[in-house]
């Protein structure tokens, strides 16, 4: 591959805790000190280079941290529509990322991470997930012929479990919170490779294509505001990374304000911003299972993104999520609860606006993944 990315000496894995550096193509997913790794990448992006490139996330390959010889593990990651929807009288554009091959935005990250692991000839991986990331990693592992083990909470949606098992991944059901599930996966990962959607930086670099697509669809301009859900924060941080790279490359002139959305009953980011509030963190009773994460490992990076962009965190109640879900279904938008939580957050944000803002948000997961009946109001 013709890429200027690899001509410098700066490209490497770097520990978030002790700054130890590793070769970008070393088979390592955690620093010896226990810190998670980030990627230090020299990116210089020019939209002119996209001419004649495929209409998929691979058109941005030049800015992905992949070895030039890595062959894409692809299930057909098309560019997703940026759909205008009226929210309380204001037009908000939503990326339709539920249209990805496994039905969620996670495929952006899995396609890039599994391509990297396939290049490294990693034979087996482990991941923990509420369902969407698990299904996505399982699908791309299946495509690459990599053995895959997914740890899920026993509360995971039946449709998601079925999807994971149909990709021939091994499912390990764990009784307890997402943190307990993560700890179980982590233990097994010590002997294999942790293909984590929040721990692994290759996954987050795949997610950054969200921002590249948004800006390209807006003729290389950034919106004023981005509103995205936060569970472990992979979409939030990936999108932020994409906008940062585009600004550093001189393609856009500003980074949008980043507003996060969390369920009221599981809002660790809100709690970190408002330490004296009475929000409970362990009560993961939200139907928005995709964002039910009480202890996101990258919390400091999420808080930095919010503070650096002048953003904020919005919480939404269970009744509000459920009402929004039913409302959107009745309008023809078949989304899952975590997306309804996001739309509910966008609605609350729009209702307090005093002037026009260009706002971008995202549908994150398909409604077909949520087969349970809705719980009664509480």
Binding residues for Zn ion, per CB under 5 A?
15, 17-18, 20, 31, 33, 35
Write down the residue that tokens 């982590």 correspond to.
Answer: 186
Q: Which helix (H) or strand (E) holds 94?
A: strand 90-96
Alpha-carbon dihedral angle through residues 31, 233, 217, 336, given to the nearest 10 degrees? 130
Rounded to a whole number of angstroms, the minimum distance from the CB of residue 29 to Zn ion is: 12
**Which one, 35 or 81, has the nearer CB to Zn ion?**
35
As a whole number of angstroms, the distance between CA 183 and CA 128 comes to 9
**Which one, 14 or 338, has the nearer CB to Zn ion?**
14
Rounded to a whole number of angstroms, the minimum distance from the CB of residue 312 to Zn ion is: 31
**Which one, 20 or 172, has the nearer CB to Zn ion?**
20
**Which one, 17 or 274, has the nearer CB to Zn ion?**
17
**Which one, 17 or 166, has the nearer CB to Zn ion?**
17
Rounded to a whole number of angstroms, the minimum distance from the CB of residue 15 to Zn ion is: 3
Give the contacts of 171 (CB within 8 A, at least 6 positions apart).
134, 150, 152, 161, 164, 165
Rounded to a whole number of angstroms, the minimum distance from the CB of residue 19 to Zn ion is: 7
Rounded to a whole number of angstroms, the minimum distance from the CB of residue 186 to Zn ion is: 16
DSSP state of 331: T
Give the contacts of 309 (CB within 8 A, at least 6 positions apart).
240, 255, 256, 257, 258
Alpha-carbon dihedral angle through residues 346, 349, 353, 359, given to the nearest 10 degrees? -40
As a whole number of angstroms, the distance between CA 208 and CA 93 comes to 18
**Which one, 18 or 162, has the nearer CB to Zn ion?**
18
Rounded to a whole number of angstroms, the minimum distance from the CB of residue 12 to Zn ion is: 13
**Which one, 18 or 374, has the nearer CB to Zn ion?**
18
Burial of 138 (0-12, 13-18, 19+ CB in 10 A): buried
Rounded to a whole number of angstroms, the minimum distance from the CB of residue 296 to Zn ion is: 19
Evaluated on CA atoms 336, 84, 242, 321, the torsion sign reads negative
As a whole number of angstroms, the distance between CA 346 and CA 238 comes to 19
């Amino acid at each position: 591959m013709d890429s200027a990315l690899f001509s410098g000496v700066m490209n490497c894995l770097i520990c978030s805790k002790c700054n130890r550096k590793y070769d970008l193509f070393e088979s390592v997913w955690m620093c010896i000190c226990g810190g998670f790794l980030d990627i230090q990448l020299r990116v210089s992006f020019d939209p002119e280079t996209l001419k004649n490139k495929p209409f998929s996330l691979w058109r941005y390959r030049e800015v992905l941290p992949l070895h030039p010889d890595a062959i894409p593990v692809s299930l057909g990651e098309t560019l997703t529509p940026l759909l205008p929807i009226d929210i309380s009288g204001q037009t908000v554009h939503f990326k339709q990322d539920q249209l990805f091959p496994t039905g969620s935005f996670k495929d952006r990250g899995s396609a890039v991470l599994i391509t990297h692991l396939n290049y490294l000839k990693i034979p087996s991986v482990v991941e923990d997930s509420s369902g969407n990331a698990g299904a996505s990693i399982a699908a791309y592992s299946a495509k690459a012929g990599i053995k895959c083990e997914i740890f899920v909470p026993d509360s995971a949606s039946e449709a998601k479990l079925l999807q994971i098992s149909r990709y021939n991944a091994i499912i390990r059901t764990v009784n307890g919170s997402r943190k307990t599930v993560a700890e179980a996966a982590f233990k097994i990962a010590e002997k294999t490779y942790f293909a984590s959607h929040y721990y692994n930086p290759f996954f987050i670099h795949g997610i950054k294509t969200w921002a590249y697509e948004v800006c390209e669809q807006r003729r290389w301009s950034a919106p004023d505001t981005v509103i995205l859900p936060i569970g472990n924060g992979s979409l939030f941080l990936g999108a932020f990374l994409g906008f940062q790279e585009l600004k550093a490359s001189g393609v856009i002139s500003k980074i949008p304000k980043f507003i996060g959305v969390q369920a009221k009953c599981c809002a660790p980011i809100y709690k970190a911003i408002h330490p004296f509030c009475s929000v409970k963190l362990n009560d993961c009773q939200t139907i928005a299972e995709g964002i039910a994460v009480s202890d996101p490992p990258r919390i400091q990076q999420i808080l930095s993104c919010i503070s650096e962009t002048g953003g904020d965190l919005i919480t939404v109640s269970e009744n509000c999520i459920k009402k929004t879900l039913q409302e959107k279904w009745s309008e023809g938008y078949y989304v899952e609860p975590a997306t309804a939580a996001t739309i509910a957050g966008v609605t609350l944000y729009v209702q307090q606006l005093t002037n026009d803002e260009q706002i971008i948000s995202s549908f994150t997961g398909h409604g077909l993944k949520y087969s349970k009946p809705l719980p009664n109001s509480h």
